[in-house]
Amino acid sequence: MPQARISAHPTLHGTDRNEPALRATRCTACESTFFPPLRLGCEACGASDAALLPVEIAPRGVLRSAATVHVHAGDDIEAPFVVGEIELDEGPRIRGILEDLSGLGDVEAIGRSVEGVWHRCGPDPEGNEVVDLRFRLCEGATS
Amino acid sequence: MSVSLSDLRRVSVVGVGLHPYQRPSATPYTELGVHAIRAALRDAGLPWSAVESAYTGTATTAMGLSRLMYRHLGGSGIPMAQVENASASGSTAFRHACHEVASGLVDVAIAVGVDKPLVFRPPRSAAGVVDLVGSRVAPFTAFALMANRYMYEHGATAADFARVAVKNSRNGALNPNAQRRTPRSLEDVLSATPISGPLTRLQCCPIGEGAAAAIVASDDAIERLGLDASRSVRVLASASRSERMHRAEDVDTALTRETTRVALEEAGVTPRQLDVVELHDAFTVEELCYVEAIGISPPGAAPRQLAEGELDIGGRVAVSASGGLLAMGHPIGPTGVGQICEVTTQLRGEAGERQHPGARVGLAHMVGVGSVCLVHVLARE
Ligand SMILES: [Zn+2]
């Protein structure tokens, strides 16, 4: 029996569709887009909650920086791993875990296009597949 | 109409004192603080009874901690309050002490920084902000990303960052109040335990405990109390800004550029006129980014100028003559006040082995989680 795919962070990414997507916020007053999603008021223009709409955005963008981490306080990942700072095509600058850099060094990978992929965290007690969103370099793409 | 510090009456630093920064110990914060306060009073030649207002920069120790410390000087009933602004807590306490004197509300005020690394509670968790990386990105990784971006933009190398730690360890070795007093070679720094990106353990500041105190006074008070005017150091400017949405560059670099511009303009000083600069070098990369943002080095030129000794004691401008956060240490609350102590000591020509010759104008800079930025400009007249 096929089991469901469950998001490890339902407020950050949905699993309704096959393609990974980020849950973001768009301000209808100033058109700014925010990730993680923003409530209470717009950081760019101060518009109230009423102006803030939930939207789904593509986890695609350009790698602004990357760093191989040796020391951290997370309990769900083994060091070393790579953290990327990503300028999303939709505007926000975010940080995410990079699956691998295809043999490139941290600095060599900067400027490359990246896209979100589902990372399988393992099954939950009901046998559903828990997924987190990570990033990888787009094939052959440079910016 | 709003005014700036330079429109108000003159305010000067008349006394400074420190408790050495050190690894966490059983010493109570009260003992750290009282040691620094007594040193500052002695330095100024003032009795505690002359101090009319107290601001305590502190972030990681305990709530409402001021009175249990100040009572040991003799409870005088003066107003006192804690000022919490993350790493910039001490700088912010100093700013408010300066404002109170400059505005004419009091003649003598003290800014004290004191902390023990007991309680760290990041605001993002209290605000319920969740992101994709969580605790997998510590502050040093945020700055490792800054470092690799700098390498990408300017062709810098790992050794360029390491040289900041080499210089600041050399300065710290000359500072009896520094937590790290061992001079390190380039090889030592590069081969230390890797932490994140190009940053090794010796490129990350130690968080320990300590205290720092700075007494500020009006010209009236200097005359009335018979203080040594020749040793007073004038506060020319105090600027404080907070993060806005920056798309183009690194947040802390942009904030440093903006805040420094406000402070230098208020002081009527150009970056070229700075003799001594204490800045927030919690991680080596920050010194390179911030000396460029302050305008001491052109974009991308900081590594070369550092390597050529321009930022050394005795160079064009002494950056982190105290050893900076990297070597003197970063006990949080005390750090910003400790910078004022170092700049004051340098401008008085009393820094001994680590004296930068001819120091006349100094700048102190801190950023704090949030982000916030504080910049003060001081001068010997
Ligand atoms: Zn808006």
On whether residue A95 sits in a domain, the answer given is yes
Domain of residue A74, CATH code:
2.40.50
On whether residue A38 sits in a domain, the answer given is no
CATH code for the part of the protein at B5-118+207-232 = 3.40.47.10
Mutate to test the interface with B, among A12, A42, A69 (most CBs of B within 10 A): A69
Instruction: Tell whether B225 is within 8 A of chain A (Cβ).
Output: no
3-state DSSP assignment of residue B69:
helix
Residue of B nearest to A93 (CA): B247
Return the DSSP state at A76: S
* Contact yes or no for B45/B71 (Cβ under 8 A): no
**What is the model's pLDDT at position B278?**
98
pLDDT tens digits for B334-350? 999 999 999 999 999 99
Residue ranges making up the domain that contains A115: 59-143
Name the least confident of A11-15, A58-62, B244-248, B316-320.
B244-248
pLDDT tens digits for B85-96? 999 999 999 999
Report the gap between the CA of B5 and the closest CA in chain A (Å): 30
On whether residue A15 sits in a domain, the answer given is no
Residue indicated by tokens 């209808």: A28
Instruction: Tell whether B129 is within 8 A of chain A (Cβ).
Output: yes
Q: Over 50: is that where the pLDDT of A143 sits? A: no
- Residue limits of CATH 3.40.47.10 in chain B: 5-118+207-232, 139-177+234-379
pLDDT tens digits for B32-60? 999 999 999 999 999 999 999 999 999 99
Instruction: Tell whether A41 is within 8 A of chain B (Cβ).
Output: no
Range list of β-strands (E), chain B: 11-22, 53-57, 80-83, 108-115, 194-196, 199-200, 209-218, 233-242, 276-278, 318-319, 361-368, 372-379
> ∠ at Cα A75 (A72, A78), nearest 5°?
65
Instruction: Tell whether B147 is within 8 A of chain A (Cβ).
Output: yes
**What is the model's pLDDT at position B245?**
78
pLDDT tens digits for A86-131? 999 999 999 999 998 889 999 999 999 999 999 999 999 988 999 9
Question: Who's near B220: CB < 8 A, 6+ residues apart?
Answer: B107
Domain B139-177+234-379 listed as CATH 3.20.20.220 = no
pLDDT tens digits for A20-35? 999 999 999 999 999 9
Q: Please, which residues 60-99 of chain A have a Cβ atom closer than 8 Å to chain B? A: 64-75, 77, 81, 83, 85, 93-97
Residue B81, CA atoms < 13 Å, CB-side half-sphere: 9
- Is the peptide bond between B47 and the residue preceding it cis, with omega within 30 degrees of 0? no
**What is the model's pLDDT at position A75?**
81
The answer to whether A69 contacts B129, with C-beta atoms less than 8 Å apart, is no
- A51 alpha carbon – ligand 1 mean position (Å): 8
On whether residue A3 sits in a domain, the answer given is no
**What is the model's pLDDT at position B173?**
98
**What is the model's pLDDT at position A1?**
46
On whether residue A106 sits in a domain, the answer given is yes
On whether residue A54 sits in a domain, the answer given is no
Indicate the number of domains in chain A. Answer: 1
| Average pLDDT over all residues of chain B | 97
On whether residue A35 sits in a domain, the answer given is no
The answer to whether B129 contacts A36, with C-beta atoms less than 8 Å apart, is yes
Nearest-CB residue to B130 (from A12, A85, A94):
A12
* Contact yes or no for B90/B192 (Cβ under 8 A): no
